[in-house]
Amino acid sequence: MIISVASGKGGTGKTLVAASLALSLSDNYRVQLLDCDVEEPNANILLHLAMNQSQPVYIPIPKVDEAKCTYCGKCAEVCAYNAIAVLKGKVLVFPELCHGCGSCSYLCPESAITEEGREVGIVERGDSGNLELIHGRLAIGEAMAPPVIREVKKYIDPANIVIIDVPPGTSCPVVEAVKGSGFCLLVTEPTPFGLNDLSLAVEVVRKLGMPCGGVINRVGIGGEEVEKYCHREEIPVLLRIPLDRNIAMLYSKGIPLVEGVPRWREEFLRLFQDIKDISAVSRVAK
């Protein structure tokens, strides 16, 4: 089963939830936690695993053989990202804009384009007992998160319980991380910002057609609007984590909630059972 843990905005406690769920389940199951928040992968701040495997991630960018090029302009025409420009007697490639889609090399009538790899990040892996962590890390100054996320997701073993820590927001990296999941857990907080970003995240998840449920973190910091929204939209709130000085202190020290306060382990196991139940009902309804 693949469970995504997402949130419309950063700082809601998404990683706390993903790591706590992974740790709770790893007592009884083989669990993979995929940290796809590749701009700032921080699940290992809580898990403390030795990451003993590392591999670079490359995207293919075009290299033009000007001896074969007729400067017809076809490559620039097909590039949706303005990453290649054809001037009189010169073809310019802008590697930072290139998404490595391969369209230009495929459609060049003179076969003048070959491809070379450009490193955009790394994927690292570590494990301990039943728990395996794979995280991606974008290279500094790099904006191309989806290829790194795709590489992280190549490690998915469907025989395991897979938990994906999704990047915050609602843009392409989020869709790349979430797609293929059987359930999406949406972590939010009871504030106007939390509500706004939750509603955007719900739109994305609904477009992807997967069941979802909410986790409200820092209950007590704001009002009831998030609860009312979830009720209206028929999004079950599966877990509420109170605004609690001790929880914040544990997080700041890199201590997982379920280790700092063991009774939370039961709460996360119950959360997993709810996710399984909702997923089963959703499969039957389809």
Instruction: Return residues touching ligand SF4 (CB under 6 A).
Output: 61-62, 64, 69-75, 78-79, 81, 83-84, 86, 91, 98-104, 108, 110, 112-113
Cβ proximity to ligand SF4, 60 vs 236, nearer residue: 60
CA–CA distance, 250 with 248 (Å, rounded to integer)? 6
Structure tokens, 198:
């939750």
Q: How far is the CB of 82 from ligand SF4 (least distance, A)?
A: 8
Return the number of the residue (62 or 190) whose C-beta is nearest ligand SF4. 62
* Burial class of residue 137 (count of CB atoms within 10 Å of its CB; 0-12, 13-18, 19+): buried
Strand (E) or helix (H) holding 114: strand 113-128
Min dist CB 103 to ligand SF4, Å, is: 4
Strand partners, 121: 57, 138
Q: By C-alpha distance, which of 59, 55, 40 is closest to 97?
A: 59
> Shortest distance, CB of residue 137 to ligand SF4, whole angstroms?
22
Q: Which amino acid is at 254?
A: G
Select 93 or 250, whichever has its Cβ closest to ligand SF4: 93
Q: Considering the complex, what minimum distance in angstroms separates the CB of residue 99 from ligand SF4? A: 4
Closest CA to 64 of 110, 96, 101: 110
To ligand SF4, the closest distance from the beta carbon of 77 in angstroms equals 8
Least CB distance from residue 100 to ligand SF4, whole Å? 5
Positive or negative, the CA dihedral 252, 255, 258, 264 is negative
Nearer to ligand SF4, 107 or 281 (CB): 107
Contacts of 70 (CB under 8 A, 6+ apart): 109, 110, 112
CB-CB neighbours of 195 under 10 Å: 20
> Which residue, 57 or 75, has its beta carbon nearer to ligand SF4?
75
Nearer to ligand SF4, 104 or 123 (CB): 104
